[in-house]
Amino acid sequence: GESVGLHLPTLSVQEGDNSIINCAYSNSASDYFIWYKQESGKGPQFIIDIRSNMDKRQGQRVTVLLNKTVKHLSLQIAATQPGDSAVYFCAENIMNRDDKIIFGKGTRLHILP
């Protein structure tokens, strides 16, 4: 069945280091992927998205990589800061279809001082 999963429920990273959060998806037809960040006491917030015709997309301090061969998605955060502490969700969808977005379970990112 369809599923979007993250490899690790928790990730601890030293402040200033780069963080890499991974996600695997199973639906080969998925062609649109999104990363959301959820801070404590808040709802999920859009970070970055990528379409399947791209392998990489960069934002401010974040980069998303897509490997369609192995159905793998990753979010890289450069120079991790305390404000990056949150739960990160990947989500997949199929563009131009009226399907619901499928969310993964999330990875909690802890920033170590």
Partner 1 sequence: ETGVTQTPRHLVMGMTNKKSLKCEQHLGHNAMYWYKQSAKKPLELMFVYNFKEQTENNSVPSRFSPECPNSSHLFLHLHTLQPEDSALYLCASSQERRSNEKLFFGSGTQLSVL
Contacting positions for partner 1 (CB under 8 A):
4, 9, 32, 34, 36, 41-46, 49, 51, 89, 93-106
Nearer to partner 1, 49 or 72 (CB): 49
Cα atoms in the Cβ-side hemisphere of radius 13 Å centred on 49: 14
- Closest CB 14 distance from partner 1, rounded Å: 26
Least distance to partner 1 from the beta carbon of 5, Å?
Answer: 9
CB nearer partner 1, residue 82 or residue 98: 98
Q: For residue 89, which of 41, 29, 31, 49 has the smallest C-alpha distance?
A: 49
Q: Tell me which DSSP letter residue 100 carries.
A: P
**Shorter beta-carbon distance to partner 1: residue 69 or 96:** 96
Neighbour count for residue 59 (Cβ, 10 Å): 12
CB of 44 to partner 1, least distance (A): 5
The CB-of-18 to partner 1 minimum distance in angstroms stands at 25
Least Cα distance to 19 among 99, 82, 66, 97 occurs for: 82
